[in-house]
Structure 1
Amino acid sequence: MRILLLTHYWAPETGAPQMRWGWLARGLVRRGHELAVLAPPPHYPTGRLLDADPRHAPGAVHRDPSGAMIHRTAFRPYDVGLGAGARTRRWLRRMPSGWGCGALPDRSGPTSSSARCRGCRPCQPP
């Protein structure tokens, strides 16, 4: 069977998703499946390109140790941390009252007023 896997994280990055995908890829290839993976270059956790290896450059295609054919795609660099935190807080504030508190940490630290729950229904004990 020919399988196409789309993922945001792939080796040589290290982490739980990369390890799970690697395990799955080895199993699929070992069973005779043809696996192609579309993934951006290694960039986690910094949000920037981690190495200059030409095999990891956007547009590169190579076979990795699992036997999968890896097609590197372009990606948009991002800042470290909860980059979407401010957008998520704005979105939560627009939600109907009682839906959620929007208690997400911001860059000023976990003790900031925006990181404290204001007693919304999902955060209250049953």
Structure 2
Amino acid sequence: MEGMMCMRVSPWLRLFISRSISLVPTILIGVLATSYLDQLDEWLNVLQSLALPFALIPTLKLAQSHVVMTSDFATSKYWRAFGWVTAAAIIALNVYLLLPLVFMLATRGIVSACFAYASFALYLFFVGVLALDNTD
């Protein structure tokens, strides 16, 4: 935050702000939505599985980069292949588990169908761009 916005914030204030942004909504939902916690937990798991490739793919790319990790610490070809095969399996499983949700949303009308299919296509596009980007 300091480098991007040219602002200086004391560490305790930065910690208070970041923890408040992450914890206060969670506590409010836990207290106010006790009858919906199972549904919220299910949606949270879906959202986390959707976000997983956006953390997994850059981590694999950084770990195999000889520029970032130097030749001493970059992963070997064996571990690279293992990582990408595992990531592909996890992403394929997430897409497979996401498809019923997309099809369910598509049955609720033309607007929902357009939104569901467009969102799914955009998600696949961004995951593909992340995986195929070869900037080193």
Normalized per residue, the structure richer in helix is 2
TM-score range, shorter chain: under 0.3
Q: TM-score, normalised by structure 1?
A: 0.26
